[in-house]
Structure 1
Amino acid sequence: MKDEKTEDQILDAAEKVFQRKGMDGARMQEIANEAGINKAMLHYYYRSKRFLFEAVFSKAFSLIAPEINRVINEDIPLFEKIRKFTHSYIDFIQKHPYLPNFIIQELNRDQDFMNVLQKKKGFPDFRNFRSQVEQEVHEGNIRPIKAEQLFIHLLSLNIFPFLAAPLFKGFLNIDDNCYKELMEERKEEITNMIINYLEIKE
């Protein structure tokens, strides 16, 4: 019988190796070494690197997708939702800084895997957000904008600073602590930027 503690140990080890090497560069022996087990036991739990990678990827995606889904479907005003999304997302990624790069890199490598993820419980459901934005536009509360464009603005402004963190730290000549402070400031910067863009000025 498979032991849950050993399986968690394997997934944690694989996560570290996949972060460093990616799917193509990782080796099962390296993962076994990281987990402190032999290769035969690793294959007993996961018979191929592909199955192991999918388990690690699903675990990573399952951390972030429900959080996004929860906020965009919450029954709150649109501007409050934008603020809450930005604050929640940045707080979450500060705790899991590897996730955006890991997920986007591997989705670009294997775009078909998105079809698998879309069937999983907790995958973000965009329909309520679309309806809310369309209603706000129809009632003249915000400037005309497609919900898809607004969501892309919202997600990209939050994601990119974490994807490009080493580049920004180099350009700005700052350390990790200073960059973390900048990310805290971005909660309001992003929120205000988007809301100011959407607001209809008298």
Structure 2
Amino acid sequence: MKKVKDENTEHQILDAAKKVFQAKGMDGARMQEIANHAGINKAMLHYYYRNKQLLFEAVFKNAFSLLAPQLNAILNDDSSIEKKVKKFTSNYIEFVIKHPYLPNFIIQELNRNPDFILNLKDTKGFPKLEKFKEQVKYEVKKGIIKPISAEQLFINIMALNIFPFVAKPLIMAFTNTDDKTFKQLMEQRKTEVADFIINSICS
């Protein structure tokens, strides 16, 4: 009789894998350790996910599927560029505070398997920049914001939001802060980053 995959068991596996990948990284994580954290045996884990790469991709896609539609909705709503910057920054930082492993997941996978990220472009809810580009052109033309390409503006937004999480140990060392203080700094960046970008582009 064919086994039926149980949603609760799969959820336990993904939750356990997320914690292990966050602590050990893709290369350092072991399937046995993930199975132990999930409270199942290794054979059961392999029944759900044949290898570590498939499990890693499942954890990544699960997290990305929560964040991407939020960001896509912001980029394609009818609000101004200023409001988009504020909402994008606030939503992204709030999400990453709750899912701190995600930025490093992205960097790791970009280095290991660039095509994996490119394949995500076809998934539902993947952020589209077409409307954002048109809005930037329009607001530059109207003198609402200073001349800047949408691509450069988007890179600035992403860089200022992502880097502190990717470089967390380095930043904590330089600023001599503990984990609690770092989280407070990240909360403050919800407005700090947006204000910095808006002040740099507003005419």
Asked whether the two chains share a fold, i.e. TM above 0.5, the reply is: yes
- Pick one of 70, 75, 78 that aligns with 1:72: 75
How well do the aligned residues superpose, as a CA RMSD in angstroms? 1.5
- Pick one of 99, 107, 127 that aligns with 1:104: 107
Gaps of 5+ in 1: none
**Worse overlay, 188-197 or 147-156:** 188-197
- 1:1-202 matches, cutoff 5 A: 1-200=4-203
Aligned with 1:112: secondary structure? helix
Superposition deviation, residue 104 in structure 1: 2.0
The C-alpha deviation readout for 1:126-180, integer Å capped at 9, x for no partner, is 1111111011112222111110000000111111111112211111112222222
* Residue identity opposite 2:181 in structure 1: C
Superposition deviation, residue 95 in structure 1: 1.6
The C-alpha deviation readout for 1:35-77, integer Å capped at 9, x for no partner, is 1111111111112222222211211211221221121112111
* Residue identity opposite 1:193 in structure 2: F
The C-alpha deviation readout for 1:1-48, integer Å capped at 9, x for no partner, is 111111111111122222223333322222212211111111111122
The C-alpha deviation readout for 1:74-116, integer Å capped at 9, x for no partner, is 2111111111111222222222222112222222221010122
**What is the TM-score when the length of structure 2 is the normalising length?**
0.91
For 1:109 and 1:25, locate their aligned partners in 2 and report how far apart those are by CA, in whole Å: 14
Please identify runs of 4+ aligned residues in structure 1 that moved more than 6 A. Answer: none
Assess if the C-alpha contact under 8 Å between 1:11 and 1:55 holds in 2: yes
Sequence identity percentage = 62
* Residue identity opposite 1:63 in structure 2: L
Question: Residues 178 and 18 from structure 1, CA distance in 2 versus in 1: closer, same or farther, beyond 3 angstroms?
Answer: closer
For 1:23 and 1:175, locate their aligned partners in 2 and report how far apart those are by CA, in whole Å: 25
Gaps of 5+ in 2: none
**What is the TM-score when the length of structure 1 is the normalising length?**
0.92
Assess if the C-alpha contact under 8 Å between 1:61 and 1:103 holds in 2: no
Aligned with 1:69: secondary structure? helix
For 2:191 and 2:10, locate their aligned partners in 1 and report how far apart those are by CA, in whole Å: 40
* Residue identity opposite 1:124 in structure 2: P
